[in-house]
Copies of this chain bind each other. A is one copy, B any other.
Amino acid sequence: MKTYDKIIKAIEKNNSMLCIGLDSDINKIPHFVRNVPGGMLLFNQSIIESTRDLVCAYKINFAFYERYGIDGCDILHKTIESIPNDIVIIADAKRGDIGNTSNFYATAAFNRFGSDAVTVNPYMGRDSVEPFLRNEEKMTFLLALTSNPGSADFQKLESEGKPIYMHVVEKSLRWADHRKLGYVVGATHPEELARVRSQAKDNVLLIPGIGTQGGDAEAILRANAGGPAIVNVSRSIIFASENADFAEQARRRAIEFKKLLSV
């Protein structure tokens, strides 16, 4: 099934726009899991098992795995294999390189790791993004306006009467249709999100920054105006407890967020 259809179905099936980010920092996962071999994988599998009926997607940030080299690569593989088939897997890799090289990042994210979608950095322009868009089944989420403070440094600079992130959106809308291309817009910018949505009416928005980063779910949903959206929460859910009940507490938190993010 095409990723776009899988997203729409997963949101409907679980009545949830919630995506859980498996940012499984080994220093923050409970001690008793941290100190066993394969603890990080066990942690991920426990979180997936206890939340799989509450989400439409899991987002896996590659940085948390890449830092462990070969071992991390193995945990990443096995985590992805643990995600149910009807839930969307987003490789949050923020890759991008010149054309012939981006090809290989696309191969890595889509084929090697088997993700349904990948996040891509737009800075290098069209030929750095197209290799990802060439895959007819999968989806690419282009970084438009990110949730962090540094998003003001370059993304919000104005050029020809509009900010750079709107240049990214408006230009890239011509590169692929909404079934292949979505945008990352941080939950910390509801007004700007409304502006992106006004141009990208049918594109899926991937919205991080709810929870620890302070984004407000209600404001975001208003700004999103009913378009297709995946709202990511990481730390507030997965690190809900440091004790043996961590998976149970993660579920409890996920239920709270799901209520905010029902269709």
Give A contacts to B, CB under 8 Å.
23, 25, 61, 63-64, 66-70, 73-74, 77, 94-105, 107-108, 112-113, 121-129, 143, 146-155, 157-160, 164, 167-168, 171
Contact = CB atoms under 8 A, between A and B. Distances in A.
Given A77-B70, A101-B61, A107-B67, A151 B124 contact: yes
Given A112-B69, A157-B160, A146 B104 contact: no
Given A97-B61, A112-B69, A125-B150, A167 B171 contact: no
A122 B67 contact: no
Contacts of A160: 157-158
Nearest to A103: B63
A112 to B, nearest CB: 5
B63 A69 contact: no
A154 B164 contact: yes
Given A108-B67, A112-B67, A151 B167 contact: no
Contacts of A123: 121-123, 143, 146, 154-155
A63 B105 contact: yes
Contact of A167 (B108, B126, B143, B157): B157
A19 to B, nearest CB: 16
Contacts of A68: 112
Given A70-B77, A97-B63, A151 B125 contact: yes
B63 A101 contact: yes
Contacts of A153: 122, 125-126, 167, 171
Contact of A101 (B64, B152, B164): B64
B69 A73 contact: yes
A157 B164 contact: yes
A235 to B, nearest CB: 9
Contact of A128 (B64, B73, B150): B150
A148 B99 contact: yes
A84 to B, nearest CB: 22
Contacts of A64: 101, 104
Nearest to A128: B150
B99 A96 contact: no
A146 B98 contact: yes
Given A67-B112, A99-B148, A125-B154, 9 more contacts: A63-B97, A94-B124, A96-B121, A123-B123, A124-B146, A125-B149, A125-B153, A153-B167, A157-B159
